[in-house]
Structure 1
Amino acid sequence: MARYTGPVCRLCRREGQKLYLKGDKCYTDKCPVSKRNYAPGQHGQSRKKVTEYGLQLREKQKVRRFYGIQESQMRMYFNRADRMAGITGENLLKLLELRLDNVVYRLGFASSRAEARQLVRHGHFTVNGNKVDIPSSILKVGDVIQVKERSKNSPKFKEFVENHRGNTVRWLEVSPEEYRGRIVAEPARDDIDIPIEEHLIVELYSK
């Protein structure tokens, strides 16, 4: 299935909440969810009966849209999480949080996950000193993410250093002056602030 390339604000309206897909715009009065908090389309405002399957599907779609992944990737992550020790739903979210594009976003190098994916694909980052341009790369504790030397003069990254307000994610350590971040622990469920009921996704894929 091809990646969605339409207006991302429609995705937020479809889920009935902000998914923070547009970066800074999501925090302003220009956010379409604030103006039109109903699903897009001519039937968006009509009342619909939500089934158990519908609830499960919406949670799965919400996670896909938060992290910008396709259905095949979502299924792959679920199967991997199911084989891991611990709670499958929490394992799934942990894997998604440890994606390189999400880590770049969490470190503050990008204003959205979509922007982070683009920056990674363009080769602006190294992991443990090696160039990595695959956004879906799963990182681990101890990995060091750094802006490449030639990219440090970019206005984008200079702005990051100037406007850095401190790290709010406990499992990451940020050194803005060095354009560097490090994973110091695995993300716990309490560290993942997206409003998701992951058990519904597990129920959906377990059918």
Structure 2
Amino acid sequence: MTKQIFQDYLRAVLVGFLVVSPSVFADSRAVIKPAEATFAGGCFWCMELPFDALPGVIGTTSGYIGGHTENPTYKEVSNGKTGHLEAVQVTYDPAKISYEKLLEVFWHNVDPFDKEGQFCDKGDQYKAAIFYQDEKEKQLAEASKVVVKTKFPGEAIAASIKSAEKFYPAEEYHQDYYLKNPKRYEFYRFTCGRDHRLDKIWGD
């Protein structure tokens, strides 16, 4: 092959590559859209931190879900008047962290046996629950509950699995409370006995 023919060949290959490459590059640059998962585990202040610490989690939002009134306030929910549960909505990148991992973190941050609420907070508004978005999430949530039942064969699992309803973000002062008010957060978490109970159930 002469030098000229070789150069013509390379030029043809390059032109063909440039024609095809946009779609190839578009596919390689395809971005998986962020997903959302919603969990109730008692006080939403204490449920943000475990998820925020996970690689692949974009952020968490404290809020209310599962009730019968629109735009509930913290006072209404905490008084048990609206039927809502305190919950966190986790926004995450499915390419970096799986829904199964989020389920695992949920279970290890709740008392799955508490029928009255969570830790020092009692009432329906503080009960533990997984809110699934579709059939796949429902199946994964149910499978994760079976794993917990297997680990604790003599215990009844009180945490429930429910279809996700409209989620209402809580008032701004509740968002990232553990960052805005670290001392108050730590005091509340300690006096509520959350970590002591979690260690007793799940270990360190």
TM-score by length of 2: 0.23
Larger radius of gyration: 2
User: RCO greater where, 1 or 2, for CA within 8 Å and sep 6 or more?
Assistant: 2
TM-score by length of 1: 0.22
